[in-house]
Copies of this chain bind each other. A is one copy, B any other.
């Protein structure tokens, strides 16, 4: 822990990087996976459990929290860390992405975006300045600029317009954030699936000298190959000495391939959402516990796992819980999945340190392909 936000690169293996973000609330070992705590809770998990699995940081969603319980209320209650019993670092997104995917009647202007809450129908306005204000009220450690993220495929003109708007919003967000030595505000590279727009966005953001940078607008409908191609062209245009965060990504395979290209941070609802839908991620690949073939299988998901949920409960029992819609099913499978994601990140970090990242990736993928033989 340090009094100011700092990023150190500890090791590199090809383009893969092993690093460390230090800030007053704690140290984040990178590459890092941030479990998503949408509305102030990593769904179906006690906060202590999330920590014990090895998470150094979680993500909170500005959109959800501004609507309920409200940013000013969270501030009066001592901030999001106190509210949600997570004293460690928190990253918040800007709210932009969820407005586009969840809110009704949204209207985008140069100044910001107005929308109707999906919770109670009330109209809200979010500008770059208000987003930073809200993230400040939440007392977020790593804050994100407001951007416009569009789905792919999209017309080049539309991608360019949104990218340019996001750059102007980055300037305004940075000005609103000002100087906060113990915290950081990250800019977000946009540009869809257009290499030159991605590069332009990355270069213009780099010139702003922010404390960290995200790649946004990927994993929004395009094939994985397009996403990786965008990382291939974008990352070299981003500052080497700053943390790089790939937003909303992804599958275990996405993580391996993105780290290989130089990504340091990830967040994704996949392990938590999958856990609520009967899916388990393990060393042997992805399993659908709803499948009848598990109904009388007395084996655990992974008898060698450090995670009790993966080691101590039979597949037959998990199958039953999922079929019967029992809360314990969501609890156990979310636990299994977050445990596997953190296990994977630990393996990634160890492999980069040891200079054998490619071997590690090959052996992990072999495990998935082999299944359980």
Chain A residues with a Cβ under 8 A of chain B: 39-41, 43-46, 68-69, 73, 76-78, 83-85, 276, 295-296, 298, 312-314, 316-317, 319-321, 323-324, 326-328, 330-331
Contacts of A331 in B (CB 8 A): 44, 46, 327, 331
A46–B330 alpha-carbon span in the complex (Å): 11
Q: Please determine whether B324 and A68 come into contact, CB atoms closer than 8 angstroms.
A: yes
A150–B79 alpha-carbon span in the complex (Å): 53
Say how far A345's CB is from chain B's closest CB, in angstroms: 23
Contacts of A45 in B (CB 8 A): 328
Contacts of A41 in B (CB 8 A): 321, 326-328
Q: Please determine whether B327 and A69 come into contact, CB atoms closer than 8 angstroms.
A: no
Q: Please determine whether A69 and B295 come into contact, CB atoms closer than 8 angstroms.
A: yes
Contacts of A44 in B (CB 8 A): 327-328, 331
Q: A40-B320, A83-B320 are in contact. List 18 more A-B contacts (CB 8 A).
A: A39-B320, A41-B327, A44-B327, A44-B328, A45-B328, A68-B324, A69-B316, A69-B319, A69-B320, A69-B323, A73-B295, A73-B296, A73-B316, A77-B296, A77-B316, A78-B298, A83-B317, A327-B330
Contacts of A68 in B (CB 8 A): 320, 323-324
Contacts of A73 in B (CB 8 A): 295-296, 316
A40-B320, A313-B85 known; A296 and B327 CB under 8 Å? Answer: no
Say how far A162's CB is from chain B's closest CB, in angstroms: 30
Q: Please determine whether B326 and A77 come into contact, CB atoms closer than 8 angstroms.
A: no
- 19 CB-based A-B contacts, threshold 8 Å: A39-B324, A40-B317, A40-B320, A41-B327, A43-B327, A44-B327, A69-B316, A69-B319, A69-B320, A69-B323, A73-B296, A77-B296, A77-B298, A77-B316, A83-B314, A83-B316, A85-B317, A327-B327, A327-B330
A77–B317 alpha-carbon span in the complex (Å): 9
Say how far A234's CB is from chain B's closest CB, in angstroms: 35
The contact of A85 among B40, B312, B326, B330, by CB within 8 Å, is B312
Contacts of A316 in B (CB 8 A): 69, 73, 77, 83
Say how far A77's CB is from chain B's closest CB, in angstroms: 5
Contacts of A327 in B (CB 8 A): 41, 43-44, 276, 327, 330-331
